[in-house]
Amino acid sequence: MNTTINQFNQAYNTEIQADMDFYQLFNEMEKTPYACCYIAQTEEKANKVILKGEELINLEDTFYLCVR
């Protein structure tokens, strides 16, 4: 799924920002129905670690979230 950070924030009532540290992003992901297993900064890295059954969320080519 490709989405903007703004759209994601509005849809899930989060406060994700492009300059966040990963631990802050994990904290924001707790507010969503997703279990965030991995955060990558490149799509190539995300595709290497994504597990079967997980979905990849692309937030403006800034964060690639591997989620269940």
Residue range 28-46, pLDDT digits in tens: 999 999 999 999 999 999 9
Rg (CA), the chain: 11
What's the CA gap between 11 and 38, in Å, rounded?
20
- For 44-53, b/e burial (b = at least 16 CB within 10 A) is eebeeebeee
What's the CA gap between 61 and 41, in Å, rounded?
8
For the whole prediction, is pTM greater than 0.75?
A: yes
67 near 55, Cβ under 8 Å? yes
How is the chain split into domains, by residue range?
A: 2-67
What's the CA gap between 51 and 59, in Å, rounded?
19
Average pLDDT value for the chain = 96
